[in-house]
Structure 1
């Protein structure tokens, strides 16, 4: 009789799990979102993970960084992609992406052209902030430490050309991009928002103690800078000018794990790519880091992604107003065409969209 009860209890638990799991890990439905990103045009990239994009001062491009350490330039349908720059001189074993060689080959993430000089500034995850001139070639180091702490995971940036300053994130003291999921689940809060003064060569930490800070953008008049903290589902604001200068507040709460931020051409709003929407399991696990550590030590990467991607990789991009209000959400909620998005750059009525994992960029017509 006792054995029968145990069997019935086990069956009941299994049935409950099967019924409950879809609801526990399912990504939320966002009221008013537009299911449109599945219609975007796909452009294959000869390299994995074009995580960030930018156009040069002449409007050509986009330029993207891929996981084997190269910066590529889009030359249009007839010419395709050409190599523009590299972040490491050590290219012998870097013809294809090998995660264990990233610290040798380089891994460019955030990209941003300085309009007045034509220089391309690069967040290389391993080497720090780098730059390369308008003709491309081998990038050179700009800065790789702040206040005595070396960068471990340089991520995204924006440039204030009036003040000659670069704002960027160093996402962790411990984890690097090849262990990014472990960083996300660990609860470690050693990430920083940093300001680098190009004139004095000084790097100053503006915000410390962040959990995996990511995308960065100045607002239109340079009075504040915003930064994503994906695991907290927050966008923080740090005031640079005015009566609140030197203080911070919450700029926005967003429905997923924010990656890179891009200011619109008019400067009146921002585009934030969400790696995925936040499911109930993910929200709960990120509030209790021991759960994340258990998942890291117990499950394979594919299952970890399944749990935190809502069971189905998908795409969502949020449009934020200058006051932090959510103005619009664009989605491919089933991942039919687009997933693992990392950045959305607006140009001439189109969104150019990158991915941290996949060998594609997408182009979505806003009009």
Structure 2
């Protein structure tokens, strides 16, 4: 989040600094449900990683920290035109950019956190701007059957893209609790279905996904912090194998990764964030760095991994190519082949014909 974006959030209609600082016990406009081990009746929370950062620390980290200068344009050398479908045991994943991927398996076309907009911001005139175009042109997408949406931050929930997908393909949009209300308020045509951590959702006769805990949080502004849930996904694609999709997460106490391995592994592939991690004192509870991501891959027992959440939108302080360089160093330190964990650029493809 840039300083301009932070100021835009504070100035957005209905979003006041007082609401942030007082944390008033207002009604949750997104979700009403029973108290659980991760919902207190008003807000969601990580049971084993309480949020401790203050608004003043957030301002210091996001608006005042010294940042590496990114280029205005950093185009990828790759561009993909995917096939219409992929069947059998084949698994094809292309990085579209940031946290957006097209996963093709078992006859289904699945998008994760789709963002085709130029900015990830509540307003169109300011906020983090794309430095690399999407790795697949929107018009080159095959018919999309399912969207897996991890949470409601602007770099993951892009309502303009979701509306365009709804108009074109009417995909099912699988979201954590509360996020359906946000999407339906924007566009009733978006087929949002909300589920809790642990819920298993059939996507076809052969494919299902399960929502898993993630070490993160949610907000569309300053008055709705943690009023919608966030998640990772464990995708069981039948003969094509199993894929772990982290969404957005810190490493935290690390309990989420071995728990996912025990419940859903072994994973053929893990899609893990490796960017937006500096300054570390602030970001470590919500975003992994490359070293964390390698450790998470090992805890998940994943055969291979894809690194995402880097090189498209500047959200934090590190250099644009730092995630890829630090991932290579972390793999080398563990004696792991760089082919096991690839930091894909937009348009770059990972594929395998057999588990």
TM-score w.r.t. the length of structure 1 is 0.30
More strand by share: 1
Question: Whose radius of gyration is greater, 1 or 2?
Answer: 1
